[in-house]
Structure 1
C-alpha cells in the first residue's frame, strides 16, 4: 500500500503546498511530509481529516493506494482486470489522476 504517495500526488494535483494542506488537516507540515514519504502511518482520525480535505472518500483513497502486493495471489488477476476501469471511474467522478 502506497498511501503517502497517493496523498502527495492528489495534494499536488490540487495545487496545495504541504504547509497549506497540513494546516487544513490540523497537522504539522513535518508530520504531513512523513506521511507522504511513507515514514509515518497516520491514525484513522488523521486519515479521515486528510480524506475530507482531499474531498475524497476514505475507501477511495485506500483503493488508489493498493498495489499488487496488497492483493492475495488468487485475486490478483481479477484486480489487474478491474483496476484500470475502477481508477478511470474514480478519475471521472472525483477528478483524481493516478
Structure 2
C-alpha cells in the first residue's frame, strides 16, 4: 500500500500545495510530507480529514494507493483503466455543494 503517493497524486491533481492541504486537513506540513513519503503511518481520522480536504472518497484514495498484488484477480489492464479514469475525474473542478 502506497497511500502517501496516492495522497500526493490527488493533492497535485487538485492543485493544492502541501501547505494548503495541511491547513485544510488540520495537520502540520512536516507531518503531511512524512505521510506523502511513506515515512509515517497515517491514522484513520487524519486520512478522513485529508480525503475531505481533497474532496476524494476514502475508497478512491485507498484504490489509488493499492499495489497490484492487493487487487487479487483483477487484470492489469482493468486496474490501469480504472486508475486512469479516476485521475481524470480528479482533474475536474470540485463542485460547490451550495449550488
Shared topology, TM-score over 0.5? Answer: yes
CA shift, 1:91, in A, is 3.2
Query: Cα distance 1:68–1:52, how it changes in 2: closer, same or farther (>3 A)?
Result: same
User: Any residues of structure 2 matched to 1:1-98 within 5 Å, and which?
Assistant: 1-72=1-72, 75=73, 78-95=74-91
Gaps of 5+ in 1: none
Q: 1:84 to 1:61 in 2, by over 3 A?
A: same
Instruction: Give the gaps of 5 or more residues in structure 2.
Output: 93-99
Between Structure 1 and Structure 2, how many residues are aligned?
92
Report if aligned partners of 2:24, 2:53 keep a CA contact under 8 Å in 1: yes
**Higher helix proportion:** 1
What RMSD in Å do the two structures reach over aligned CA positions?
1.8
Instruction: Give the Cα separation in 1 of the matches to 2:9 and 2:60.
Output: 14
Q: How far is 1:20 from its partner?
A: 1.2
TM-score (norm 2): 0.79
TM-score for both structures, normalised by structure 1: 0.80
Give the 3-state SS of the residue equivalent to 1:35 in structure 2.
Answer: helix
The whole-number CA distance in structure 2 between the counterparts of 1:13 and 1:88 is 12
Deviation at 1:64, TM superposition (A): 0.8
- 1:63-84 Cα offsets, whole Å, 9 max, x none, are 0111123344xx2xx2424212
Q: CA deviation at 1:89?
A: 3.3
**Contact map agreement 2:13 2:87 (CA 8 A) in 1:** no
